[in-house]
Each structure stands twice: as C-alpha cells, then as structure tokens.
Structure 1
Amino acid sequence: MNKIIKGLIGFSLRHPYVVFFVTALVVVAGAFSFYYTPVEAYPDVTNTEVVIITQWSGRSAEEVERFISVPIETEMNSISHKTVIRSINLFGLSFIKIVFEDGTDNFNARMEAAQKLANVNLPDGVDPEVQPPTGPTGEIYRFTLTSKTKSATELKTLEDWVIEKNLKAVPGVGDVVSFGGRVRTFEVAVTPPLLTKYGLTALDVYTALQ
C-alpha cells in the first residue's frame, strides 16, 4: 500500500500538468452534473405499474370480482415481464394493478395491457380503462359529493361535466376517476303508426339519435 501511495505522489510531482488536467476535468463534470441532473420532490423509484379500473354500477363486490376482476387477471397473467397482479373489489368498482420488472418500458407495458384487455370477455356495457401513468405520489385526493336538495343523478352530472373538467385542467393532474351516482339518461318512445307513415324503422330513429 505504501508503495502505491509513494508511486502516486511521485507521478503527481513528475507530471503536474496531467494532474491539473484531470482535476479540471473532474470539476467540469461535477458542475455539469450539478446543473443538469433532474431534481424532483418525490423521485419515482418504483417499478413500472399499469392500473386498470372498471366500473359496473349497482353490482356487489363479489359480482365485480367474479365477472370483472377474475377474467381480467386471467388474461393479464401471460403479460410480459409481469411480477405481480393485485386487485381490489368494491361495490361497483374493480381496481387492478399490474407491477412489472424493474426497467420495463412504461409505454410497451401499457400497450400490451391494452391489447390483452381487448380480448377479455366482460358483461355488456362494461368498459375497463387503462389509467394514465402517474407519479410516485399516485392517488393524492379523494372526495365525495353530498346534497340535501340535489338527487344522485344531478350530483353525477355536476361531477362529470363541471368538477371533473376543472380538476383535469390543473397542471400535473393525470386523471380523475369517479364512480357512484346515476348517469342522466333520456328515453325515446316511438309511435309505430307514425313510423309506418313516414317509412321509417326503429333502427332509423336509433341511428339518427346517435
């Protein structure tokens, strides 16, 4: 060890310009790293994750698990570089998280999950959604809407068309997921004699309304 130290000291004394050049190079590299290294309040050190949320209004947690979560999990078991699949089933809501190996590309993972999701056989009217990528903080806020004067349908309309749009406009918000309430619907009653009179069918009316 003493010979190595003496050798380094001797080399430094014999070649001062080389030592000066190496020192300057280290200083420049350090300054470059200091100014260009990204700094985040909450660094994302987690593995790549894909979250699939499915709503099935009015169904119990047991029904959601049996008809929604289990078929999706079965299909996702063959996805590449998967390490674990976790699911949470609530009243009318299925929450599935797929965790991938470290270093897995987020875009490719989401694309493969979306492709496999299209192959899952689910009940009519059920549309699962692959959630946008979020930061390490993940879900940061939950709220409920209650009113003594407004109905569940009015609250749902307020959430979908006012509150959700304003929240999505906030910088940094990845997505807003809502469930519960009643979606406002319109019913159209056709009169068969009038359809015959104008040479129309029920399908023509349906197409026009779309």
Structure 2
Amino acid sequence: VVAEKVKLPPGYWIGWGGQFEQLVSATKRLMIVVPVALLLVFLLLFMGMGSAADAALVFSGVPLALTGGVAALLLRDIPLSISAGVGFIALSGVAVLNGLVIIAFIERLRSEGRSVVDAVREGALTRLRPVLMTALVASLGFVPMALATGAGAEVQRPLATVVIGGIISSTMLTLLVLPALSVLFRRDAGTETPTMAPDLAASGER
C-alpha cells in the first residue's frame, strides 16, 4: 500500500525496521530450523527403531498433523507467524509420539509370532486409550492459550491453534490411517484373510 500511494523523489527510499525487520529475519531462520528439526526427529526414530521403513511409517503422521495446523489457522483467520512456526515443531513431536505408541506395540506383537493383520488389529484396539489420552491432554492444555485475549495473546493464539488443530488431524491418522498403512506395507508372506480371532475380540473387550 505504501509503495502504491507514497511517491518518493529521486534519491529517497523506504526501509522497514523494528518488529517487522525482526519478523523477516526470524522467518528466514525458521525456514532452516523447521526442516532441520523434522530431519532430527526422523533420525531419532531411525536410531530408536532400527528400520527406515518403520521410522517412515511413524513419521507419516507429521504431514497430516501439519495439514491440520494450517487448516486451524485458516479457520481462525490467523496469519502464519513465528509462534505458529514454533507450534508446528512442537506438533511434529506429539504426532510422532502417538504413532510410536501404536507401531512399537504392533512390532512387539509381531515378534511374538502374530500375523500382520492380527497384530495391527490388536495393537489399534489396545492402544486406543493411550493415544486418545495423549491427544486430549496436549490439546486441552493449549485451550486457554488459544482463547487468550490479554497481553501476549498475539503470540499464544497462533501456537496453541496450530497444536490443537494438528493434534486432532494427527490423532485421526494415528487411529485410522496408520494401522491401514501397517497392513499395506508390512504384509506377511502368502495370503492373509483378515478374520477376527477370538483372543483379539477378548482383548477389545478389555
């Protein structure tokens, strides 16, 4: 708007400083910090699980979590800011944690000799409550920040909004899409028929 409406004589120019200048420099840093943080998360998963395939499977929760964070910002008409970028980094950790809870349990069942379909079904049923508890604790804890209106609210709202929206979407992926991907990419040799075993039904009741 200034460039269109303010006509400067030759030899004059406009330079922006203060908070806007800090915002520009911080944005440039975030463009480096966020990819590096995501790469470190993947490397930690790889080191902990010992398999690039399992690490990629758990890391698949990050894209949908980031999508949920962006959607939440759009719904609340909040611009992307530095605090929102920090929220995306925190959100990635929560999304990976939820996926790790299920995948680690599924791999334990497979090491006991269960088929992929049976292990995925029992793992999803057994870990439903821990995943929901993790998501609820993290999201409800950010609700006061998301609704803040006092001093510092302009920093708190974007961060909390990103985390809450991303947790909702990542939880859906963890409970629905992640087990499906486990069956799709980790099939046993031969043909499987995904029938419900009696012991799995009993575990679901527990």
TM-score category (smaller protein): under 0.3
Structure whose residues are more often strand by fraction: 1
Structure whose residues are more often helix by fraction: 2
Q: What TM-score, normalized to structure 2?
A: 0.24
Q: What TM-score, normalized to structure 1?
A: 0.24
Structure with bigger RCO (C-alpha 8 Å, 6+ apart): 2
